[in-house]
Structure 1
Protein backbone atom coordinates (compact mmCIF):
# COMPACT_ATOMS: atom_id res chain seq x y z
CA UNK A 1 0.00 0.00 0.00
CA UNK A 2 1.49 3.33 -1.02
CA UNK A 3 1.33 6.54 0.92
CA UNK A 4 1.28 10.03 -0.51
CA UNK A 5 4.42 12.02 0.40
CA UNK A 6 3.73 15.03 2.57
CA UNK A 7 3.57 18.33 0.75
CA UNK A 8 6.34 20.79 1.57
CA UNK A 9 6.47 24.52 0.94
CA UNK A 10 9.63 26.61 0.98
CA UNK A 11 9.22 30.36 1.35
CA UNK A 12 12.31 32.23 0.19
CA UNK A 13 14.75 31.07 -2.47
CA UNK A 14 18.07 32.55 -1.52
CA UNK A 15 21.01 30.16 -1.38
CA UNK A 16 19.65 28.41 1.71
CA UNK A 17 16.04 28.24 0.54
CA UNK A 18 17.02 26.78 -2.81
CA UNK A 19 19.13 24.12 -1.09
CA UNK A 20 16.23 23.19 1.19
CA UNK A 21 13.81 22.90 -1.72
CA UNK A 22 16.29 20.86 -3.76
CA UNK A 23 16.72 18.43 -0.86
CA UNK A 24 12.99 17.84 -0.49
CA UNK A 25 12.62 17.36 -4.23
CA UNK A 26 15.51 14.90 -4.23
CA UNK A 27 13.67 12.83 -1.65
CA UNK A 28 10.45 12.80 -3.62
CA UNK A 29 8.37 15.31 -1.70
CA UNK A 30 5.91 17.45 -3.66
CA UNK A 31 7.48 20.87 -3.13
CA UNK A 32 5.92 24.27 -3.61
CA UNK A 33 8.09 27.37 -3.62
CA UNK A 34 7.66 31.12 -3.50
CA UNK A 35 10.05 34.02 -3.81
CA UNK A 36 9.54 37.72 -4.41
CA UNK A 37 11.77 37.41 -7.47
CA UNK A 38 9.92 34.67 -9.33
CA UNK A 39 12.90 34.07 -11.63
CA UNK A 40 14.70 32.35 -8.76
CA UNK A 41 12.12 29.56 -8.88
CA UNK A 42 12.72 28.63 -12.53
CA UNK A 43 15.42 26.02 -11.98
CA UNK A 44 13.41 24.41 -9.17
CA UNK A 45 10.30 24.29 -11.33
CA UNK A 46 12.34 22.59 -14.04
CA UNK A 47 13.36 20.04 -11.39
CA UNK A 48 9.74 19.35 -10.44
CA UNK A 49 8.72 22.03 -7.96
CA UNK A 50 5.55 24.09 -8.19
CA UNK A 51 5.90 27.86 -7.97
CA UNK A 52 3.05 30.01 -6.68
CA UNK A 53 2.50 33.69 -7.38
CA UNK A 54 1.91 34.66 -3.75
CA UNK A 55 3.25 33.53 -0.39
CA UNK A 56 -0.28 32.81 0.78
CA UNK A 57 -0.91 30.43 -2.13
CA UNK A 58 2.38 28.66 -1.49
CA UNK A 59 1.69 28.29 2.24
CA UNK A 60 -1.79 26.91 1.54
CA UNK A 61 -0.23 24.24 -0.67
CA UNK A 62 2.06 22.83 2.02
CA UNK A 63 1.57 20.60 5.05
CA UNK A 64 5.03 21.62 6.26
CA UNK A 65 6.08 25.21 5.57
CA UNK A 66 9.75 26.15 5.74
CA UNK A 67 10.57 29.87 5.90
CA UNK A 68 14.08 30.90 4.81
CA UNK A 69 14.14 34.63 4.21
CA UNK A 70 16.67 37.45 4.51
CA UNK A 71 16.01 38.40 8.12
CA UNK A 72 13.35 38.43 10.84
CA UNK A 73 11.81 41.69 9.59
CA UNK A 74 11.20 40.22 6.14
CA UNK A 75 9.84 37.02 7.70
CA UNK A 76 7.28 38.97 9.73
CA UNK A 77 6.26 41.02 6.69
CA UNK A 78 5.83 38.02 4.40
CA UNK A 79 3.96 35.91 6.95
CA UNK A 80 1.75 38.81 8.03
CA UNK A 81 0.77 39.26 4.41
CA UNK A 82 -0.28 35.60 4.32
CA UNK A 83 -1.94 35.49 7.74
CA UNK A 84 -5.14 33.90 6.44
CA UNK A 85 -3.19 30.96 5.03
CA UNK A 86 -1.09 29.92 8.05
CA UNK A 87 -3.87 28.50 10.25
CA UNK A 88 -3.35 24.80 10.84
CA UNK A 89 0.10 24.84 9.28
CA UNK A 90 3.40 23.72 10.76
CA UNK A 91 5.69 26.73 10.34
CA UNK A 92 9.42 26.05 10.58
CA UNK A 93 11.37 29.28 10.36
CA UNK A 94 15.11 28.94 9.69
CA UNK A 95 15.62 32.65 9.08
CA UNK A 96 18.40 34.17 11.17
CA UNK A 97 17.39 36.47 13.99
CA UNK A 98 17.58 37.05 17.71
CA UNK A 99 15.76 35.13 20.45
CA UNK A 100 13.08 37.80 20.88
CA UNK A 101 12.40 37.80 17.14
CA UNK A 102 11.65 34.08 17.33
CA UNK A 103 9.47 34.43 20.43
CA UNK A 104 7.46 37.26 18.89
CA UNK A 105 6.87 35.30 15.70
CA UNK A 106 5.90 32.20 17.67
CA UNK A 107 3.32 34.25 19.59
CA UNK A 108 2.00 35.71 16.34
CA UNK A 109 1.75 32.25 14.77
CA UNK A 110 -0.20 30.95 17.77
CA UNK A 111 -2.67 33.82 17.38
CA UNK A 112 -3.21 32.75 13.76
CA UNK A 113 -3.74 29.10 14.72
CA UNK A 114 -0.37 27.88 13.44
CA UNK A 115 2.31 25.83 15.21
CA UNK A 116 5.77 27.43 15.17
CA UNK A 117 9.19 25.84 15.29
CA UNK A 118 12.35 27.90 14.99
CA UNK A 119 15.52 26.51 13.44
CA UNK A 120 19.16 27.59 13.47
CA UNK A 121 21.15 26.16 10.57
CA UNK A 122 24.80 25.23 11.01
CA UNK A 123 25.78 24.56 7.43
CA UNK A 124 26.67 26.26 4.20
CA UNK A 125 23.95 25.78 1.57
CA UNK A 126 26.06 23.27 -0.40
CA UNK A 127 26.06 20.86 2.56
CA UNK A 128 22.30 20.90 3.25
CA UNK A 129 21.04 17.32 3.12
CA UNK A 130 24.44 15.83 4.00
CA UNK A 131 26.08 14.66 7.21
CA UNK A 132 27.94 17.99 7.36
CA UNK A 133 24.69 19.87 8.01
CA UNK A 134 23.07 20.28 11.42
CA UNK A 135 20.04 22.27 12.56
CA UNK A 136 18.94 23.13 16.09
CA UNK A 137 15.22 23.60 16.76
CA UNK A 138 13.11 25.10 19.52
CA UNK A 139 9.44 25.91 19.90
CA UNK A 140 6.58 23.54 19.14
CA UNK A 141 7.54 20.08 20.33
CA UNK A 142 4.59 18.58 18.47
CA UNK A 143 5.83 20.04 15.16
CA UNK A 144 9.29 18.66 15.78
CA UNK A 145 7.97 15.21 16.65
CA UNK A 146 5.51 15.12 13.76
CA UNK A 147 8.02 16.29 11.14
CA UNK A 148 11.32 15.09 12.56
CA UNK A 149 11.90 12.47 9.90
CA UNK A 150 11.38 15.01 7.13
CA UNK A 151 13.41 17.72 8.85
CA UNK A 152 16.28 15.29 9.35
CA UNK A 153 16.57 15.07 5.57
CA UNK A 154 18.05 18.56 5.76
CA UNK A 155 20.70 17.73 8.35
CA UNK A 156 21.18 16.33 11.83
CA UNK A 157 18.50 17.88 14.01
CA UNK A 158 18.58 18.69 17.72
CA UNK A 159 15.50 19.80 19.67
CA UNK A 160 16.51 22.24 22.41
CA UNK A 161 13.19 22.89 24.13
CA UNK A 162 9.81 24.54 23.86
CA UNK A 163 11.04 28.14 24.23
CA UNK A 164 11.04 29.31 20.60
CA UNK A 165 13.93 31.67 21.33
CA UNK A 166 16.37 28.98 22.48
CA UNK A 167 17.64 27.99 19.03
CA UNK A 168 18.38 31.62 18.20
CA UNK A 169 19.91 32.15 21.64
CA UNK A 170 22.42 29.40 20.95
CA UNK A 171 22.89 30.56 17.37
CA UNK A 172 23.77 34.21 17.94
CA UNK A 173 26.06 33.28 20.85
CA UNK A 174 27.88 30.66 18.78
CA UNK A 175 28.22 33.07 15.87
CA UNK A 176 29.55 35.79 18.20
CA UNK A 177 32.24 33.34 19.28
CA UNK A 178 32.96 32.43 15.66
CA UNK A 179 33.33 36.03 14.52
CA UNK A 180 35.50 36.80 17.53
CA UNK A 181 37.76 33.94 16.46
CA UNK A 182 37.85 35.16 12.85
CA UNK A 183 38.67 38.68 14.04
CA UNK A 184 41.52 37.29 16.11
CA UNK A 185 42.76 35.27 13.15
CA UNK A 186 42.76 38.28 10.83
CA UNK A 187 44.59 40.35 13.44
CA UNK A 188 47.12 37.55 13.88
CA UNK A 189 47.82 37.29 10.15
CA UNK A 190 48.22 41.08 9.89
CA UNK A 191 50.76 41.04 12.73
CA UNK A 192 52.54 38.08 11.17
CA UNK A 193 52.74 39.77 7.78
CA UNK A 194 54.19 42.90 9.36
CA UNK A 195 56.85 40.69 10.97
CA UNK A 196 57.65 38.99 7.64
CA UNK A 197 55.64 35.80 8.20
CA UNK A 198 53.15 34.55 5.59
CA UNK A 199 49.62 33.69 6.72
CA UNK A 200 50.00 30.16 5.34
CA UNK A 201 53.15 29.73 7.44
CA UNK A 202 51.50 31.04 10.60
CA UNK A 203 48.19 29.18 10.39
CA UNK A 204 49.36 25.58 11.11
CA UNK A 205 51.07 26.72 14.30
CA UNK A 206 48.07 28.85 15.26
CA UNK A 207 45.66 25.95 14.72
CA UNK A 208 47.84 23.68 16.86
CA UNK A 209 47.93 26.25 19.67
CA UNK A 210 44.18 26.84 19.52
CA UNK A 211 43.46 23.09 19.60
CA UNK A 212 45.55 22.80 22.76
CA UNK A 213 43.76 25.80 24.26
CA UNK A 214 40.16 24.73 23.59
CA UNK A 215 39.81 22.51 26.72
CA UNK A 216 40.23 25.64 28.84
CA UNK A 217 36.87 26.87 27.53
CA UNK A 218 35.07 24.02 29.30
CA UNK A 219 36.78 24.98 32.56
CA UNK A 220 35.86 28.63 32.03
CA UNK A 221 32.25 27.61 31.31
CA UNK A 222 32.00 25.78 34.63
CA UNK A 223 33.42 28.80 36.44
CA UNK A 224 30.99 31.15 34.69
CA UNK A 225 27.94 29.00 35.49
CA UNK A 226 28.97 28.54 39.14
CA UNK A 227 30.16 32.12 39.66
CA UNK A 228 33.31 30.70 41.27
CA UNK A 229 36.30 32.31 39.62
CA UNK A 230 38.98 30.93 41.91
CA UNK A 231 41.05 29.15 39.24
CA UNK A 232 44.54 30.63 39.45
CA UNK A 233 46.21 29.08 36.42
CA UNK A 234 45.11 31.91 34.13
CA UNK A 235 44.49 34.93 36.32
CA UNK A 236 43.19 38.29 35.25
CA UNK A 237 46.44 39.95 36.30
CA UNK A 238 48.55 37.56 34.24
CA UNK A 239 46.38 38.06 31.16
CA UNK A 240 46.32 41.83 31.62
CA UNK A 241 50.10 41.86 31.42
CA UNK A 242 50.14 39.48 28.47
CA UNK A 243 47.61 41.49 26.52
CA UNK A 244 49.48 44.72 27.18
CA UNK A 245 52.59 43.14 25.66
CA UNK A 246 50.73 41.89 22.57
CA UNK A 247 48.97 45.21 22.06
CA UNK A 248 52.25 47.10 22.30
CA UNK A 249 53.88 44.70 19.83
CA UNK A 250 50.96 45.07 17.43
CA UNK A 251 51.15 48.86 17.57
CA UNK A 252 54.93 48.78 17.05
CA UNK A 253 54.26 46.76 13.88
CA UNK A 254 51.82 49.49 12.78
CA UNK A 255 48.92 47.02 13.10
CA UNK A 256 45.89 48.44 14.97
CA UNK A 257 45.01 46.36 18.03
CA UNK A 258 41.28 46.92 17.73
CA UNK A 259 40.36 43.26 18.27
CA UNK A 260 42.28 43.08 21.57
CA UNK A 261 41.49 46.42 23.22
CA UNK A 262 37.89 45.53 24.12
CA UNK A 263 39.03 42.34 25.89
CA UNK A 264 41.70 44.23 27.80
CA UNK A 265 39.06 46.76 28.85
CA UNK A 266 36.91 43.94 30.27
CA UNK A 267 39.90 42.64 32.22
CA UNK A 268 40.97 46.10 33.40
CA UNK A 269 37.51 46.74 34.84
CA UNK A 270 37.55 43.54 36.87
CA UNK A 271 41.05 44.20 38.19
CA UNK A 272 40.05 47.74 39.15
CA UNK A 273 37.21 46.15 41.14
CA UNK A 274 39.72 44.10 43.12
CA UNK A 275 39.69 40.77 41.27
CA UNK A 276 43.25 40.59 39.94
CA UNK A 277 43.80 37.06 41.28
CA UNK A 278 40.55 35.68 39.87
CA UNK A 279 40.35 33.49 36.78
CA UNK A 280 40.32 35.12 33.37
CA UNK A 281 36.76 33.86 32.98
CA UNK A 282 35.63 36.51 35.48
CA UNK A 283 35.98 39.07 32.68
CA UNK A 284 32.48 37.96 31.65
CA UNK A 285 31.17 39.91 34.64
CA UNK A 286 32.18 43.12 32.89
CA UNK A 287 29.44 42.37 30.34
CA UNK A 288 26.90 42.15 33.15
CA UNK A 289 27.63 45.30 35.11
CA UNK A 290 29.74 48.42 35.10
CA UNK A 291 31.79 46.95 37.93
Structure 2
Protein backbone atom coordinates (compact mmCIF):
# COMPACT_ATOMS: atom_id res chain seq x y z
CA UNK A 1 0.00 0.00 0.00
CA UNK A 2 1.24 3.48 -0.86
CA UNK A 3 2.11 6.14 1.69
CA UNK A 4 3.25 9.17 -0.31
CA UNK A 5 0.52 11.79 -0.51
CA UNK A 6 -0.36 12.73 -4.10
CA UNK A 7 -2.57 15.48 -5.48
CA UNK A 8 -4.31 15.18 -8.85
CA UNK A 9 -5.44 18.29 -10.70
CA UNK A 10 -7.92 17.62 -13.49
CA UNK A 11 -10.66 15.01 -13.23
CA UNK A 12 -11.63 14.27 -16.76
CA UNK A 13 -11.90 10.59 -17.64
CA UNK A 14 -8.13 10.16 -17.56
CA UNK A 15 -7.61 12.24 -14.44
CA UNK A 16 -10.26 10.24 -12.59
CA UNK A 17 -8.57 7.01 -13.68
CA UNK A 18 -5.19 8.25 -12.39
CA UNK A 19 -6.62 9.43 -9.07
CA UNK A 20 -8.62 6.24 -8.68
CA UNK A 21 -5.50 4.13 -9.16
CA UNK A 22 -3.70 6.10 -6.45
CA UNK A 23 -6.63 5.73 -4.03
CA UNK A 24 -6.78 2.00 -4.72
CA UNK A 25 -3.04 1.70 -4.05
CA UNK A 26 -3.43 3.41 -0.68
CA UNK A 27 -1.90 6.78 -1.43
CA UNK A 28 -3.47 9.68 0.47
CA UNK A 29 -4.96 11.45 -2.55
CA UNK A 30 -6.18 15.02 -2.85
CA UNK A 31 -8.17 15.98 -5.95
CA UNK A 32 -9.25 19.21 -7.58
CA UNK A 33 -11.40 19.92 -10.61
CA UNK A 34 -13.13 23.06 -11.82
CA UNK A 35 -16.41 21.12 -11.75
CA UNK A 36 -16.14 19.75 -8.22
CA UNK A 37 -18.82 17.10 -8.70
CA UNK A 38 -16.46 15.11 -10.90
CA UNK A 39 -14.59 14.18 -7.75
CA UNK A 40 -17.62 12.86 -5.85
CA UNK A 41 -16.95 9.17 -6.51
CA UNK A 42 -13.29 9.56 -5.57
CA UNK A 43 -14.17 11.39 -2.36
CA UNK A 44 -16.61 8.60 -1.52
CA UNK A 45 -13.68 6.20 -1.86
CA UNK A 46 -11.47 8.20 0.49
CA UNK A 47 -9.90 11.00 -1.55
CA UNK A 48 -9.81 14.52 -0.15
CA UNK A 49 -11.35 17.36 -2.17
CA UNK A 50 -9.35 20.59 -2.37
CA UNK A 51 -11.24 23.85 -2.68
CA UNK A 52 -8.53 25.48 -4.82
CA UNK A 53 -5.58 24.51 -6.99
CA UNK A 54 -3.25 26.11 -4.44
CA UNK A 55 -4.75 23.98 -1.68
CA UNK A 56 -4.32 20.85 -3.81
CA UNK A 57 -0.66 21.60 -4.54
CA UNK A 58 0.03 22.38 -0.89
CA UNK A 59 -1.54 19.14 0.30
CA UNK A 60 1.09 16.79 -1.17
CA UNK A 61 4.77 16.59 -2.05
CA UNK A 62 3.76 15.27 -5.49
CA UNK A 63 1.16 16.85 -7.76
CA UNK A 64 0.03 15.21 -10.99
CA UNK A 65 -1.64 17.45 -13.57
CA UNK A 66 -3.84 16.04 -16.33
CA UNK A 67 -5.77 18.75 -18.15
CA UNK A 68 -6.98 19.58 -21.65
CA UNK A 69 -3.91 21.47 -22.82
CA UNK A 70 -1.03 23.65 -21.66
CA UNK A 71 -3.03 26.86 -21.91
CA UNK A 72 -5.45 25.51 -19.30
CA UNK A 73 -2.54 24.18 -17.25
CA UNK A 74 -0.81 27.57 -17.25
CA UNK A 75 -3.99 29.44 -16.37
CA UNK A 76 -4.66 27.18 -13.37
CA UNK A 77 -1.12 26.77 -12.04
CA UNK A 78 0.23 30.30 -12.28
CA UNK A 79 -1.99 31.70 -9.51
CA UNK A 80 -0.83 28.79 -7.32
CA UNK A 81 2.88 29.27 -8.02
CA UNK A 82 3.65 30.14 -4.42
CA UNK A 83 2.62 26.67 -3.26
CA UNK A 84 5.03 24.88 -5.60
CA UNK A 85 8.32 25.54 -3.81
CA UNK A 86 9.93 22.32 -2.58
CA UNK A 87 7.34 20.13 -4.29
CA UNK A 88 7.32 18.00 -7.45
CA UNK A 89 5.02 18.75 -10.38
CA UNK A 90 4.36 15.96 -12.89
CA UNK A 91 2.53 17.25 -15.95
CA UNK A 92 0.75 14.51 -17.91
CA UNK A 93 -1.16 16.99 -20.06
CA UNK A 94 -0.76 16.35 -23.79
CA UNK A 95 1.44 19.01 -25.38
CA UNK A 96 4.52 19.75 -27.45
CA UNK A 97 8.20 19.52 -26.47
CA UNK A 98 8.49 23.32 -26.57
CA UNK A 99 5.60 23.65 -24.13
CA UNK A 100 7.22 21.12 -21.82
CA UNK A 101 10.48 23.10 -21.83
CA UNK A 102 8.71 26.37 -21.05
CA UNK A 103 6.75 24.79 -18.21
CA UNK A 104 9.87 23.21 -16.73
CA UNK A 105 11.62 26.59 -16.75
CA UNK A 106 8.63 28.24 -15.08
CA UNK A 107 8.31 25.50 -12.43
CA UNK A 108 12.05 25.59 -11.71
CA UNK A 109 11.94 29.36 -11.31
CA UNK A 110 9.32 28.82 -8.60
CA UNK A 111 11.37 26.25 -6.72
CA UNK A 112 9.57 23.12 -7.94
CA UNK A 113 10.94 19.90 -9.36
CA UNK A 114 9.33 19.15 -12.72
CA UNK A 115 8.69 16.09 -14.86
CA UNK A 116 6.79 16.00 -18.12
CA UNK A 117 5.00 12.89 -19.28
CA UNK A 118 2.89 11.18 -21.88
CA UNK A 119 0.21 8.65 -21.00
CA UNK A 120 0.19 5.68 -23.37
CA UNK A 121 -3.09 4.21 -22.19
CA UNK A 122 -6.81 4.80 -22.27
CA UNK A 123 -8.62 5.34 -18.96
CA UNK A 124 -9.83 1.71 -18.53
CA UNK A 125 -6.26 0.40 -18.89
CA UNK A 126 -4.62 2.75 -16.35
CA UNK A 127 -2.90 0.74 -13.59
CA UNK A 128 -2.97 -2.44 -15.69
CA UNK A 129 -0.09 -4.22 -17.47
CA UNK A 130 -1.34 -2.67 -20.72
CA UNK A 131 -0.51 0.88 -19.61
CA UNK A 132 2.82 2.67 -19.73
CA UNK A 133 3.66 6.31 -19.14
CA UNK A 134 6.66 8.16 -20.57
CA UNK A 135 8.59 10.61 -18.37
CA UNK A 136 11.38 13.06 -19.01
CA UNK A 137 13.17 15.60 -16.84
CA UNK A 138 15.85 15.40 -14.19
CA UNK A 139 16.39 11.77 -13.21
CA UNK A 140 16.61 12.52 -9.49
CA UNK A 141 13.05 13.86 -9.59
CA UNK A 142 11.87 10.73 -11.38
CA UNK A 143 13.63 8.36 -9.01
CA UNK A 144 12.26 10.20 -5.98
CA UNK A 145 8.71 9.36 -7.04
CA UNK A 146 9.15 6.27 -9.20
CA UNK A 147 7.25 4.03 -6.78
CA UNK A 148 4.20 6.30 -6.81
CA UNK A 149 4.32 6.76 -10.59
CA UNK A 150 4.53 3.00 -11.17
CA UNK A 151 1.05 2.72 -9.66
CA UNK A 152 -0.37 4.35 -12.80
CA UNK A 153 1.38 2.08 -15.30
CA UNK A 154 4.91 1.06 -16.24
CA UNK A 155 7.03 4.20 -15.75
CA UNK A 156 9.42 4.65 -18.70
CA UNK A 157 12.13 7.26 -18.09
CA UNK A 158 13.44 8.81 -21.34
CA UNK A 159 16.12 11.18 -20.10
CA UNK A 160 16.85 14.63 -18.76
CA UNK A 161 15.74 16.55 -21.87
CA UNK A 162 12.27 17.41 -20.65
CA UNK A 163 10.66 17.58 -24.10
CA UNK A 164 11.44 13.97 -24.99
CA UNK A 165 8.34 12.46 -23.39
CA UNK A 166 6.07 14.88 -25.27
CA UNK A 167 7.92 14.16 -28.53
CA UNK A 168 7.58 10.38 -28.12
CA UNK A 169 3.98 10.74 -26.98
CA UNK A 170 2.98 12.69 -30.08
CA UNK A 171 5.05 10.44 -32.36
CA UNK A 172 3.29 7.37 -30.95
CA UNK A 173 -0.08 9.06 -31.31
CA UNK A 174 0.79 9.98 -34.90
CA UNK A 175 1.44 6.31 -35.67
CA UNK A 176 -1.93 5.42 -34.14
CA UNK A 177 -3.61 8.19 -36.12
CA UNK A 178 -2.12 6.96 -39.39
CA UNK A 179 -3.11 3.40 -38.52
CA UNK A 180 -6.74 4.29 -37.84
CA UNK A 181 -6.94 6.58 -40.88
CA UNK A 182 -5.48 3.75 -42.94
CA UNK A 183 -8.13 1.43 -41.52
CA UNK A 184 -10.94 3.83 -42.39
CA UNK A 185 -9.54 4.36 -45.88
CA UNK A 186 -9.17 0.65 -46.55
CA UNK A 187 -12.69 -0.07 -45.28
CA UNK A 188 -14.09 2.68 -47.51
CA UNK A 189 -12.40 1.00 -50.49
CA UNK A 190 -13.37 -2.55 -49.55
CA UNK A 191 -17.02 -1.69 -48.94
CA UNK A 192 -17.40 0.25 -52.17
CA UNK A 193 -18.91 -2.80 -53.88
CA UNK A 194 -22.18 -4.43 -52.97
CA UNK A 195 -20.79 -7.58 -51.32
CA UNK A 196 -18.17 -5.87 -49.18
CA UNK A 197 -18.65 -5.51 -45.44
CA UNK A 198 -16.38 -3.83 -42.91
CA UNK A 199 -16.43 -6.88 -40.63
CA UNK A 200 -15.64 -9.30 -43.44
CA UNK A 201 -12.75 -7.17 -44.69
CA UNK A 202 -11.34 -6.56 -41.19
CA UNK A 203 -11.07 -10.32 -40.73
CA UNK A 204 -8.19 -10.17 -43.23
CA UNK A 205 -6.85 -6.76 -42.25
CA UNK A 206 -5.99 -7.53 -38.61
CA UNK A 207 -3.71 -10.53 -39.28
CA UNK A 208 -2.15 -8.75 -42.26
CA UNK A 209 -1.23 -5.67 -40.23
CA UNK A 210 -0.11 -7.83 -37.29
CA UNK A 211 2.29 -9.69 -39.59
CA UNK A 212 3.57 -6.51 -41.20
CA UNK A 213 4.17 -4.85 -37.82
CA UNK A 214 6.88 -7.44 -37.23
CA UNK A 215 8.94 -5.64 -39.90
CA UNK A 216 9.23 -2.48 -37.80
CA UNK A 217 12.27 -3.57 -35.74
CA UNK A 218 14.08 -4.33 -39.01
CA UNK A 219 13.17 -0.91 -40.38
CA UNK A 220 14.27 0.72 -37.12
CA UNK A 221 17.64 -1.05 -37.20
CA UNK A 222 18.15 0.15 -40.78
CA UNK A 223 17.31 3.75 -39.81
CA UNK A 224 19.79 3.65 -36.91
CA UNK A 225 22.60 2.04 -38.90
CA UNK A 226 25.14 3.63 -41.22
CA UNK A 227 25.42 0.37 -43.15
CA UNK A 228 23.46 -0.51 -46.26
CA UNK A 229 19.81 -1.20 -45.37
CA UNK A 230 19.00 -4.87 -44.90
CA UNK A 231 15.53 -4.45 -46.40
CA UNK A 232 14.98 -2.61 -49.67
CA UNK A 233 12.54 -2.60 -52.55
CA UNK A 234 12.88 -1.33 -56.07
CA UNK A 235 11.64 2.25 -56.18
CA UNK A 236 9.83 1.52 -59.44
CA UNK A 237 7.87 -1.29 -57.77
CA UNK A 238 6.86 0.93 -54.83
CA UNK A 239 5.86 3.74 -57.19
CA UNK A 240 3.76 1.41 -59.31
CA UNK A 241 1.94 0.15 -56.22
CA UNK A 242 1.29 3.70 -54.98
CA UNK A 243 -0.14 4.67 -58.37
CA UNK A 244 -2.41 1.62 -58.32
CA UNK A 245 -3.65 2.36 -54.79
CA UNK A 246 -4.38 5.95 -55.79
CA UNK A 247 -6.27 4.91 -58.91
CA UNK A 248 -8.22 2.13 -57.15
CA UNK A 249 -9.23 4.64 -54.47
CA UNK A 250 -10.49 7.10 -57.06
CA UNK A 251 -12.33 4.33 -58.92
CA UNK A 252 -14.02 3.32 -55.67
CA UNK A 253 -15.11 6.90 -54.99
CA UNK A 254 -12.67 7.26 -52.10
CA UNK A 255 -10.35 10.21 -51.56
CA UNK A 256 -6.84 9.42 -52.80
CA UNK A 257 -4.95 12.47 -51.52
CA UNK A 258 -2.58 10.48 -49.30
CA UNK A 259 -1.52 8.20 -52.15
CA UNK A 260 -1.31 11.13 -54.56
CA UNK A 261 1.20 12.77 -52.21
CA UNK A 262 3.09 9.48 -51.98
CA UNK A 263 3.21 9.19 -55.77
CA UNK A 264 4.54 12.75 -56.06
CA UNK A 265 7.27 12.05 -53.45
CA UNK A 266 8.29 8.80 -55.12
CA UNK A 267 8.37 10.41 -58.56
CA UNK A 268 10.62 13.14 -57.15
CA UNK A 269 12.99 10.51 -55.76
CA UNK A 270 13.09 8.75 -59.13
CA UNK A 271 13.86 12.07 -60.82
CA UNK A 272 16.76 12.51 -58.39
CA UNK A 273 18.21 9.22 -59.61
CA UNK A 274 17.24 6.97 -56.71
CA UNK A 275 16.41 3.37 -57.59
CA UNK A 276 15.91 1.76 -54.18
CA UNK A 277 13.26 2.38 -51.53
CA UNK A 278 14.35 1.82 -47.93
CA UNK A 279 13.35 2.83 -44.42
CA UNK A 280 16.22 5.35 -44.00
CA UNK A 281 15.31 7.02 -47.29
CA UNK A 282 11.61 7.12 -46.35
CA UNK A 283 12.45 8.79 -43.02
CA UNK A 284 14.81 11.29 -44.65
CA UNK A 285 12.20 12.20 -47.24
CA UNK A 286 9.67 13.03 -44.53
CA UNK A 287 11.94 15.55 -42.85
CA UNK A 288 11.46 19.15 -43.89
CA UNK A 289 15.09 20.00 -43.11
CA UNK A 290 18.27 18.04 -43.74
CA UNK A 291 20.00 16.15 -40.92
Query: What's the TM-score once normalised by structure 1's chain length?
Result: 0.92
The residue aligned with 2:39 is: 41
Does residue 176 (structure 1) correspond to residue 174 (structure 2)? The answer is yes
How far the C-alpha of 1:72 sits from its partner, in A, is 1.7
Q: Mean Cα displacement is larger for which, 144-153 or 263-272?
A: 263-272
The residue aligned with 1:149 is: 147
Aligned residue runs from structure 1 range 227-246, under 5 A: 233-246=232-245
Does residue 265 (structure 1) correspond to residue 248 (structure 2)? The answer is no
The residue aligned with 1:284 is: 283
From the superposition, tell whether residues 204 and 4 of structure 1 become closer, same or farther in structure 2 (CA, over 3 Å): closer
Aligned residue runs from structure 1 range 97-112, under 5 A: 97-112=95-110
Distance in 2 separating the partners of 1:4 and 1:178 = 33
1:94-131 Cα shifts (integer Å, max 9, x gaps): 11111111111111111111011111111111111121
Q: Which portions of structure 1, spanning 4 or more consecutive aligned residues, are displaced by more than 6 angstroms?
A: none
Distance in 1 separating the partners of 2:48 and 2:269 = 59
The residue aligned with 2:21 is: 23
How far the C-alpha of 1:259 sits from its partner, in A, is 3.4
From the superposition, tell whether residues 260 and 43 of structure 1 become closer, same or farther in structure 2 (CA, over 3 Å): same
Q: Which of 87, 90, 101 is 2:88 aligned to?
A: 90
Does residue 58 (structure 1) correspond to residue 56 (structure 2)? The answer is yes
The residue aligned with 1:137 is: 135
How far the C-alpha of 1:232 sits from its partner, in A, is 6.6
Q: Note if contact 1:266-1:283 (Cα within 8 Å) is conserved in structure 2.
A: no
The residue aligned with 1:198 is: 197
Q: Note if contact 2:235-2:270 (Cα within 8 Å) is conserved in structure 1.
A: yes
Query: What's the TM-score once normalised by structure 2's chain length?
Result: 0.92
1:236-256 Cα shifts (integer Å, max 9, x gaps): 321111010111111111111
Q: Note if contact 1:187-1:259 (Cα within 8 Å) is conserved in structure 2.
A: no
Distance in 2 separating the partners of 1:177 and 1:278 = 20
SS in 2 for 1:69: coil
How far the C-alpha of 1:222 sits from its partner, in A, is 2.9
From the superposition, tell whether residues 155 and 224 of structure 1 become closer, same or farther in structure 2 (CA, over 3 Å): same
From the superposition, tell whether residues 119 and 232 of structure 1 become closer, same or farther in structure 2 (CA, over 3 Å): closer
From the superposition, tell whether residues 119 and 280 of structure 1 become closer, same or farther in structure 2 (CA, over 3 Å): closer
SS in 2 for 1:256: coil
Runs of 5+ unmatched residues, structure 2: none
Q: Note if contact 1:267-1:283 (Cα within 8 Å) is conserved in structure 2.
A: no
The residue aligned with 1:252 is: 251
The residue aligned with 1:122 is: 120
From the superposition, tell whether residues 130 and 260 of structure 1 become closer, same or farther in structure 2 (CA, over 3 Å): same
Q: Note if contact 1:33-1:41 (Cα within 8 Å) is conserved in structure 2.
A: yes
1:42-91 Cα shifts (integer Å, max 9, x gaps): 22222221111211111001111000011122112222121111111111
Runs of 5+ unmatched residues, structure 1: none
- Number of positions where the alignment pairs a residue of Structure 1 with one of Structure 2: 289
From the superposition, tell whether residues 280 and 59 of structure 1 become closer, same or farther in structure 2 (CA, over 3 Å): closer
Give the superposed CA RMSD. Answer: 2.1
